[in-house]
Structure 1
Amino acid sequence: MEPIFITASLWLALAVVSALIASSLGLSIALVEICVGVAAAAATDWFGLGDVLAANSEWVRFLAASGAVVLTFLAGAELDPDVIRTKLTEVSVVGLVGFLAPFLGCAAIARYLLGWDANASWLCGIALSTTSMAVVYAVMLETGFNKTEFGKGILGSCFINDLGTVIALGLLFAPFTDKTIVFLVGSLAVLALLPSMTAWLTRHYAHRTAAIRTKWIMLILFGLGGLALWSGSEAVLPAYLVGMVLAGGAARDAHWIRRLRTLTVGFLTPFYFLRAGTLVSLPALIAAPLVFLMLLMGKVASKIFGLYPFIGLFRQDRNERWYYTLLMSTGLTFGTISALYGLSHGLVTQEQYSFLVAAVIASAVVPTLIAGMAFVPRHLLPPGEHPGKALRHGDGLSDEG
């Protein structure tokens, strides 16, 4: 047990350093944690410290996965059903284009420019087609855009985009088995009963039993997540659906959402974002930087050229269009999951996997940085908010949450 506590203290020390840097520079905490993770992994290799961070240990992987799952649930819970209904055309068009443009573009780059085989090329297209719900939601929280119809529209588009990625991965590579049917039927049954069961639990026990709603939600998330993994899917997919189903009720109790957000951002997501950074192999990138740059530019360019004209149909302001487009160009959760799926099933080599993961993680950093520095639509910020304020002064991201 002693080594686990020592290792955990190292991770949390990196999280504290990341928070201080993010606060000082006014950058996204998710972005800074990824960069700090890259630096930490490079430093441990440079000084010959071995696997001191234990990034691939089961307990670190579990905490990181838990962070992704709960953060994805919170992103779904932030969606206002009325806003999504009114923006259904926008989120559907932007989400589908955001998936198809990089899926086809990056698959073509891998096949015809890099000479990868068909399976590796299609897997490349899938891995680089994603939009990072975790990064986008973290940015929405920090800026305050999660409270606006603009931010909720971006989150809705992210969901459609990533849903396309999951479906493509399943149709092209994942076998449809009896387990898949069990997962679908079980998830639909739980989602159908969840609003009424949660409302009953909240009405009778929420305010006189210790944190029972949080325990209940974690039970549902981990239960459906385990069922998803057992069936060959991913735990974050049902988490988003659970959040969407409970969005109306969750919005009525902002205090509970803030407390759950504090637990998630304060403890769980640092493991996820920091660990994502440690997956980047700097030696592999240094050995073949052009491959990495081609994949990164292929993803970002295909996203921008595919999305910008369509986003212009719904957002007229220049900063709004660029900010929307750049955030939709990010990638992380489903991208790394897809790349790891390809590696574990022999669809890509270890070297190809390293390039894919590096490009995915870089796509979480570069577009987010540019969007935050140059294209924030400040006129849409809630009154009294400015980029980075939520990070320092509340909304579930500070000690006041």
Structure 2
Amino acid sequence: MRVDSTFISLILWALIFLAGLLSVELGLSVAIIEISLGVIGGNFLGLQPTPWIAYLAGFGGILLTFLAGAEVDTQVLKSKFKESFFIGGISFAAPFLGAMFYAYYVLGWSWPASKIAGIALSTTSLAVVYAVLVETGLTHTELGKIIMAATFVTDLGTAVALSLLFLEFNWFTLVFLAASALFIFIIPRIYPWICSRYGERVIEPEIKFLFLILVAFMYLAKLGASHAILPAFVLGLALSDQFMKNRKLQQRLRVVAFAIITPFFFINGGMNISLKLLLLNGGLLLQMLLVKQVTKIAGVYPLARKYLPRGAMYTTLLMSTGLTMGTISSVFGLTGGFINQVQ
């Protein structure tokens, strides 16, 4: 039976509203609650990702990544580059190598499937990290900025590994890279004029312009068999000084994102989790989870304790999250025939 899209929308907005209430009452990150409610909706309420949900979820992930880049203090990034690079680098390398070799030598997976496992489990979700840091008020602290910069390094490693090992380049890949570089170079130079000429209006042209550019990244990335996460983050980074000067604009963009768009990203992530498959393959799930967490903690914690002694464990736990790039890598492996549905 075909379910009416308006009814699906009604259920989703009810879950989004409930997630907000539970987040306030329980003192937990709304991202975690939205993912949990997405699991409930997908497994018990019959909700399934539709094209419009998938589109909003994809855009929500890109928007979160852009916002995360915009929160990074470039001065802190320059002064703390070594800390961010080493923490982010080991956060990628340790679980990538650990999961890949475990899947190949212990689980007996094929070499391509093992590489997909390593890539998928190497990730740290920039979107989840950013959402948690915003809710805890840490985005303006040095700790929060270093964590976001380190997370970007991790996801950069994941994206590069996936591209080099599996993705097929075409002429549109070059177009995507060239257009992304051009946008990142030009937009920080014209955006202040757009804000001064068209800003402070209820129709928010300056926000709509950013949405246009992010959707352009998504479109070009699709043509180029790539992903818009990296240019979105770098564009946010390039505009971070502008947002630091205009906190009201940053706050309005956050409100639009967290109220309307990003909940679909987290709920859609939960809807893609099959409890039936997890229960049937609980042993495999537990093994892969332990491999990821053990390698992440073993790699990140010593460096975090050295560079961020007051927030070492908090940094380590946040760096152990995964969603966006992990999902992208897994779906790519499945559609490309490198892994099966259980894997």
- TM range, smaller chain: over 0.9
Alpha-carbon shift at residue 236 of structure 1 (Å): 2.3
* C-alpha separation in 2, matches of 1:68 and 1:286: 28
Shift of 1:220: 0.7
Displacement of 1:17 after TM fit? 1.4
Gaps in structure 2 of 5+ consecutive residues: none
SS in 2 for 1:90: helix
C-alpha contact (below 8 Å) 1:221/1:242 kept by paired residues? no
* Matching residue of 2:324: 333
In the alignment, is the contact (CA less than 8 A) between 1:95 and 1:160 conserved in 2?
yes
**What's the CA shift string for 1:249-277, capped at 9, x where partnerless?**
01211111111111111111111111111
One-letter code of the match for 1:343? L
Pairwise CA distance, 1:42? 2.1
Look up the match of 1:182.
175
Structure 2 counterpart of 1:309: 302
Shift of 1:117: 0.2
Q: 1:345-379: per-residue Cα shift (whole Å, max 9, x none)?
A: 11111111xxxxxxxxxxxxxxxxxxxxxxxxxxx
Alpha-carbon deviations, 1:125-168, whole Å to 9, x = none? 00000001111111101110001011000000000000000000
The answer to whether the Cα contact below 8 Å between 1:228 and 1:238 also exists between their aligned partners in 2 is no
Structure 2 matches for 1:177-216, cutoff 5 A?
177-207=170-200, 210-216=203-209
**Residue of structure 2 in register with 1:278 after alignment:** 271
Q: 2:47 corresponds to which residue?
A: 53
The aligned counterpart of 1:12 is 13
Q: Deviations over 1:216-270 (max 9, x none)?
A: 1011111112111210111222211111111100121111111111111111111
**How big is the shift at 1:215?**
1.1
Whole-Å Cα distance in 2 between the matches of residues 331 and 251 of structure 1? 28
Partner of 1:372 in structure 2? Answer: none
Query: Is the contact made by 2:169 and 2:225 (CA closer than 8 Å) also made in structure 1?
Result: no
Matched, 1:24 2:25: yes
| Aligned partners of 2:143 and 2:308 also within 8 Å | no
Corresponding residue SS for 1:312: helix
The reply to whether residue 229 of structure 1 matches residue 222 of structure 2 is yes
- Partners in 2 of 1:166 and 1:231 — Cα distance? 14
Figure out how many residues of one structure are paired with residues of the other and give that number.
341
Q: Quick one: which amino acid aligns to residue 5 of structure 2? A: I
1:164 is the counterpart of 2:157: yes
1:79 to 65, 72, 75: 72
TM-score by length of 1: 0.83
Backbone CA RMSD of aligned residues? 1.3
1-side partners of 2:194 and 2:188: how far apart?
10
The amino acid that maps onto 2:295 is S
Structure 1 position 299 matched with structure 2 position 300: no
The answer for the alignment partner of 2:43 in structure 1 is: 42
Q: Mark the CA change 1:159 to 1:53 in structure 2 (over 3 Å): closer, same or farther.
A: same
TM (norm. structure 2) is: 0.96
CA shift for structure 1 position 209? 7.9
Find the residue that maps to 1:351 and give its secondary structure: coil
